Amino acid sequence: MFYREAGQFKTSYAADMAIFPILQDRIGLAVILAIAFIAIPLFGSNFLIQTVMIPFLVFALAAIGLNILTGYTGLISLGSGAFMGVGAYACYKLTTIFPGVNIIVWILASGFFAAAIGVVFGLPSLRIKGFYLTVATLAAQFFLQWSFVRIPWLYNYNASGAIEVPQRLLAGIPVTGANATPVTRYLVLLSIVILLTWIASNLVHGRIGRSWMAVRDMDIAAELMGIRLLPAKLLSFAVSSFYCGVAGACMMFLWYGGGEANDAFNINQSFTILFMVIIGGLGSIIGSYFGAAFISILPTALKFGLPAMGIALSGPVAEHLNYIILGVLILFFLIVEPHGLARLWQVGKQKLRVWPFPY
Amino acid sequence: MKKSALALGLVVGALVGTPALHEASAQESVYVPLFTYRTGPFAGSGIPIADGMRDYLEMLNQRDGGIGGVKIVIEECETGYDTKKGVECYEAVKDKKPVLTNPYSTGITLQLIPRASVDKIPMLSMAYGLSASADGTVFPWIFNPPATYWDGASVMVTYMAQQLGGFDKLKGKKLGLIHLDAPFGKEPIPLLENLAKEYGFELKLYPIAAADMQNQSGTWLAIRRDRPDFIYNQGFGAMNPTAVKEAIRNNYPVGKMVGVWWAGGDDDARGGGAEAKGYKALSFNQTGVDYPVMQDIIKHVFDKKLSKVENRNRIGEALYNRGVYNSMLIAEAIRTAQRITGKKVVDGADVRRGLEGLDITEARLKELGMEGFAAPVRVTCADHNGHNKAFVAEWDGGKYVKASDWIEPIKNKVRPLIEAAAKEYASSNTGWPKRSEACDKPS
């Protein structure tokens, strides 16, 4: 009914292979983009933009990064928090050494540093698999976090030990630092996230993505079919770390505005992103968005949304409720749909398509 | 896609209106948000501090009808000691015109420092946060009285000299610094290195990684080997009771171990049992309820069941009283702002001036019912800290008691460090605003 594609004929291979073959999907996407680019900046309060949308976008980007590695290539990593840190510190060093260069360039360039570090820690992935690889990436997490605290050069010997984000302009408007308005930062972040999502989508639907999925499904078979395992796995590590690195740089520069590694890039962060990927749906770009929304927006909505709707909760009670509700929902989703919210969305779409005459 | 758009719309709808809904209702009121952490890994220290802060302000509302006839609207926002949640709290309270913020976490403080001057909301980070913010010429909106971590470390060295019989006796002695391996813990190192060179004592560092707070056996092996004459503990959370327990297990004399003020919670020492007797920590507030102000809190707040404290014995604990002290600074800043401006309902910019004019003398402390409870505090335009006196408190098995005189920090060593750090902060943050706020004449 809602999704009936009757009358939509595909006349070329390109149309048939399109990522959004159905007209309704394309309209939906356009509507979402319009809301994100026009409605939210115009009508959203600073609170909505700063504490809901910006964190959501940062986490969505990080989740896409981890999804490339874990969902598409089947390599579980617990180092994504640290790779985000590499991006953030790289961006900080770059912009303080070369203050004249546009900050957006540095945010994107910092991803390459994270990618390089990711490749180094991805090297063992050829020999070790599964849980053992997870432990190897855990080493990355601890080692990098240790470096962030122990190498004062990384934070320019600040007495506070933290990154202090300087003000940077884009066309005369501050985009980082305290004078940057949430709307500016949001629009910059949104543009970066959409650009990178588009690239990721093209990557995973193309030859590279297929080779990753072949490796994920059975690496020996993939090797026999002519996929070189080491380059495929390392590329996956590199791309994944690139995304995480950019997300980390965005987190520090466009969201936090400064901070320190123990606080922002600790092991909890790595777990949070892994949960987002698992709950959102392994091997799905849209699932990364669902997962990020679920884990990052829900607590804020519960904490500030319930009191706004007239349900008075004291801070600690709301906080405890948060943990309970989130925990129960995670269990619920994992039992009802182990393949994550993305699969749930697919099922829902299918149901809508045949409604009201299911067969 | 439609479903997610709808869901997005719902969330948007629910959140767009959020801050507008609970505006301060009464006209004649000042809004004081308290960022507190009653949950999370550090709730043990967060709960007594939150209770103390809240109860003092509530007592003013109950006893005096607020400050200068203006009611205080108190709102707690739960941070769980998490920076992300703390910043959320800030965004949620920002539009409700708070007269000041009170982040109660170094991580949150660092985030909010650049925003304070933009949003015109002063910030009080009482003896935590960024030490450099004591320089009022660079940080007009940030205040961190009564003392910085550098002051604390210098008080420790003075105390050590007092115990040994003079600064000249420090030569050849060993001072161990157990510290959290994070910016907070590493902060005293440059000052202590400085003083070690000056007085000829040896500084030994014992870093504890944040993940190893409760696993310090390796560190204590090193301490056993080095046998430092005194140990200064710049620790937080679970690290402190663990250090006390390890000291006992390793036969290190607990009485030679002095914690920074955040290592001076009742639970920090209690964990060590009877043998923890003699453990010391720096403090700038007394414990117990033998002060008129504490009696008023019990009478006007606890007895009326307006407090969140359930057990009467917890009123008067070191950290509870520190919360009271924190709120006293808030209240006095608001009162000073009312006096300077002549307005009854003050705003953030007024309270910034109030904080700069803060001068709590012995006489004023007596009026507040805090004679002997705390030392006088004076903040000026250039000096947003005051580098006020602290003392060493000793755990007697059930509570902390004062175990030294009020000790003056070595200000001429601390101040240059602060000014250098402040200058560096301003120069590394391009676009850091020059101070444009005029100074009030001291009254």
Please, are residues B336 and B360 in contact by the beta-carbon 8 Å criterion?
A: no
Asked if the structure places residue B225 within a domain, the reply is yes
A50 contact B CB<8A:
yes
Same domain, B268 and B381: no
Interface of B with A in 245-264 (CB under 8 A): none
Q: Which residues pair with A168 in a beta bridge?
A: A176
Asked if the structure places residue B133 within a domain, the reply is yes
Angstroms from B115 CA to nearest CA on chain A: 5
Asked if the structure places residue B428 within a domain, the reply is no
A356 preceded by a cis bond (ω within 30 of 0): yes
Same domain, B141 and B155: no
pLDDT of residue A336: 84
Per-residue pLDDT 10s for chain B (443 aa) are 444 444 444 444 444 444 433 444 445 899 999 999 998 888 888 999 999 999 999 999 999 999 999 999 999 999 988 888 898 899 889 889 999 999 998 888 988 898 888 899 999 999 998 889 999 999 999 999 999 999 999 999 999 999 999 999 999 999 999 998 887 888 899 899 999 999 999 999 999 988 788 899 999 999 999 999 999 999 988 899 999 999 999 999 999 999 999 999 998 998 888 889 999 999 999 999 999 999 999 999 999 999 999 889 899 999 999 999 999 999 999 999 999 999 999 999 999 999 999 999 999 999 999 999 999 999 999 999 999 999 999 999 889 999 999 999 999 999 999 999 999 888 877 778 888 888 887 65
Nearest to B18 among A47, A156, A348 (CB): A47
pLDDT of residue B27: 59
Amino acid at residue number B38: R
Residue found by looking up tokens 């026009």 in the block: A38
Same domain, B84 and B170: no
HSE-up (13 A, CA, CB side) for residue A210:
6
Same domain, B403 and B266: yes
Q: Where are the beta strands (DSSP E) in B160-306?
A: 174-180, 202-208, 230-234, 257-259, 280-283
pLDDT of residue A359: 65
Q: Confidence class of residue A6 from pLDDT cuts 50, 70 and 90?
A: confident
Interface of B with A in 59-118 (CB under 8 A): 76-78, 80, 83-85, 87-88, 91-92, 94-95, 107, 110-111, 114-115, 117-118
Same domain, B360 and B395: no
Asked if the structure places residue B360 within a domain, the reply is yes
Measured between beta carbons, which residues in chain A are less than 8 angstroms from residue B118? 178-179
Burial (0-12, 13-18, 19+ Cβ within 10 Å), B121? buried
Percent of chain A whose pLDDT exceeds 70: 99
pLDDT of residue B320: 95
pLDDT of residue B13: 45
Asked if the structure places residue B326 within a domain, the reply is yes
Q: For A302, which DSSP code?
A: I
Please, are residues A104 and A188 in contact by the beta-carbon 8 Å criterion?
A: yes
Asked if the structure places residue B430 within a domain, the reply is no
Is the complex ipTM more than 0.90? no
Nearest-angstrom CA–CA distance, B152 and B146? 10
* Tens of pLDDT, residues B13-48: 444 444 433 444 445 899 999 999 998 888 888 999
B274 contact A CB<8A:
no
Nearest-angstrom CA–CA distance, A289 and A296? 10
Q: Confidence class of residue A1 from pLDDT cuts 50, 70 and 90?
A: low
Count how many pairs of residues, chain A against chain B, have C-beta atoms within 8 Å.
179
Same domain, B35 and B136: yes
Please, are residues B16 and A44 in contact by the beta-carbon 8 Å criterion?
A: yes
Same domain, B88 and B143: yes
Query: What is the average pLDDT across A97-109?
Result: 93
Nearest-angstrom CA–CA distance, A191 and B161? 60
Angstroms from A35 CA to nearest CA on chain B: 9
* Tens of pLDDT, residues B224-261: 999 999 999 999 888 999 999 999 999 999 999 999 99
Interface of A with B in 164-193 (CB under 8 A): 164-168, 174, 177-179
The domain of B273 spans: 149-283+391-419
Measured between beta carbons, which residues in chain B are less than 8 angstroms from residue A259? 83, 107, 110-111
What string of H, E and C letters represents the secondary structure of B134-175? HECCCCCCEECCCCCHHHHHHHHHHHHHHHHCCHHHHCCCEE
CA A315 centroid distance within chain: 28
Angle between helices A229-250 and A207-217 (to 10 degrees): 110
Element (DSSP H or E) covering residue B71: strand B71-78
Same domain, B414 and B367: no
Say which residues have a Cβ less than 8 Å from residue A174's Cβ, sequence separation at least 6.
A167, A168, A180, A184, B431
CATH number for the domain spanning B109: value is 3.40.50.2300
Q: Which residue has the higher pLDDT, B12 or A174?
A: A174
Nearest-angstrom CA–CA distance, A251 and A264? 9
Same domain, B316 and B376: yes
A97 contact B CB<8A:
no
Asked if the structure places residue B141 within a domain, the reply is yes
Question: How many structural domains are present in chain B?
Answer: 2
Same domain, B158 and B273: yes
Nearest to B182 among A31, A165, A262 (CB): A262
What single string gives the DSSP state of each residue in A305-326?
A: IHHHTT----HHHHHHHHHHHH
* Tens of pLDDT, residues B37-93: 998 888 888 999 999 999 999 999 999 999 999 999 999 999 988 888 898 899 889
Measured between beta carbons, which residues in chain B are less than 8 angstroms from residue A51? 87-88, 91-92
Q: Where a domain ends, among B348, B367, B388?
A: B388
Percent of chain A whose pLDDT exceeds 90: 54
A8 contact B CB<8A:
no
Angstroms from A142 CA to nearest CA on chain B: 10
Asked if the structure places residue B75 within a domain, the reply is yes
Say which residues have a Cβ less than 8 Å from residue B29's Cβ, sequence separation at least 6.
B66, B70, B71, B72, B73, B345
Measured between beta carbons, which residues in chain A are less than 8 angstroms from residue B3? 345, 348
Q: For A226, which DSSP code?
A: T
Report in angstroms the alpha-carbon separations of A288 from A76, A202, A265, B6: 15, 15, 19, 18
A258 contact B CB<8A:
yes
A256 contact B CB<8A:
yes
Cβ–Cβ gap A262/B131 under 8 Å: no
Nearest to A167 among B38, B190, B430 (CB): B430
HSE-up (13 A, CA, CB side) for residue B354:
28
Cβ–Cβ gap A31/B5 under 8 Å: yes
Same domain, B271 and B159: yes
Same domain, B73 and B153: no
User: Which residue does chain B place closest to A348, by CA atoms?
Assistant: B3
